[in-house]
Structure 1
C-alpha cells in the first residue's frame, strides 16, 4: 500500500508548494503535479499519469477535493473508478476518505458543494461583467493608444514614416501601430 499524492494549480503563476507540503505530511510516497491546468478539464496529463500509476491497495491523496475536479459528476466517476480498482481516496483538508459508507456519503455531499461554489463564482463574475457593461465599462486590458494617437499614427504613416518609427514616437509596440493602421 502506498499513499500517492496529486496536486494541481490552475495557472502557471501559482505555486503548488502548500499542497506539496501537506501531501508530504500526509505520507505521500510520490506526488504528481499539474501546473496551469483547470480543474474543469477531465483529462490532465499528471492526473492521468497518477491514475495509471495507482495499484490496488494504494490511496490517492489530494490537498482539497476541488484539486481533483470541479465537476461533481467527474469527481464521483473518478472515485468510483478508483474504488472498483481497490484504490482508496483521501482529501487532507476536508478529512474525507472512502473508508466505509459514511465517508463515501460525505464525499458526495462535499463534491456537490464544491461544484455549487464554482457555479456561484461564475454566476457572480458574469453578473459583475454585465453590471460593468451597463455602466459603460469594458473588461480587458486598457488601450495603449488613444483615439488621437491613432489619428496621429495614420497621419505620420501618410507622410511616409515607418511603423517602427511611429511606435517609438507614440511609445508603443510596432504591432500596436499596425493594429491601429489597419
Structure 2
C-alpha cells in the first residue's frame, strides 16, 4: 500500500505547509499540491496528475475533506471513482476512510457538511454586499483614480495626449485610463 497525498490552498498567498506536514506524518510518499485553486473547481491540475498517478492498492490521503472539494456530488463521485479503481481514501483531520460501509457513510455526511459550509459562506457574502449596496457602498476593489483624476484624464485626452502618457501622469495603468475615458 502506497499513500499518496493531495493538498490544496485556494489562493496563492496561502501556505499549504500545515497540510504537507500532516500528510508526511501520515506516511505520504508523494504529495501533489494545487496553489490558488478553489475547491469548487472540478478541474485542478495537480489533483488530475495525482489521480493519474494512483494505482490499485494505493491510498489517496488529504488533510481535510474540503481539500478534495466543496461540492458534495463531485467529492462523492471522486471517491466512488477511486473505489472502483481499487484505491482507498483517507481524510486525516476527520479520520474518515473508505474502509467499510460506516466509513463511506461518514464520508457522505462530511461531504454534505463541506458543501453546506461553502453555500453558507456564499450566502453571507451576498447578503453583506447587498446590505453595503443598500447603504450606498460598493463592494470590490477601491478605485485607483478618483472622479477628479478621471476628469483630468478626459481633459488630457482632449488635448491629444495618449493613454500611456496619461497613465504615467496619473500613476495608474493604461487599462484604468481607458476605462475612465470610456465612461465606466
* TM-score above 0.5: yes
- The equivalent of 1:3 in structure 2 is 3
| TM score, norm. by length of structure 2 | 0.90
| 1:28 corresponding residue in structure 2 | 28
Alpha-carbon offset, residue 9 of structure 1:
1.2
Structure 1 pair 108/165, CA: closer, same or farther in 2 (3 Å)? closer
Cα deviations by residue, 1:34-76 (Å, 9 ceiling, x for unpaired): 1122111222221112112111211110000001111111111
| Partner deviation per Cα, 1:68-118 (whole Å, 9 max, x = no partner) | 111111111111111122211100111111111111111111111111111
The 5-angstrom pairing of residues 20-169 of structure 1 reads 20-169=20-169
Tell me by how many angstroms 1:161 deviates.
4.5
Going from structure 1 to structure 2, the CA distance change for 1:25 and 1:167 (only over 3 Å counts) comes to same
CA RMSD of aligned residues (A): 1.8
Q: TM-score, normalised by structure 1?
A: 0.91
Q: Per-residue deviation at 1:150?
A: 2.1
SS at match of 2:61: strand
Q: SS of 1:42's equivalent?
A: coil
Whole-Å separation in 1 of the counterparts to 2:177 and 2:49? 45
What runs of 5+ residues in structure 1 fail to find an aligned partner? none
Distance 1:52 1:157, change over 3 A: closer
Between the aligned partners of 1:119 and 1:60, the Cα distance in structure 2 is: 26
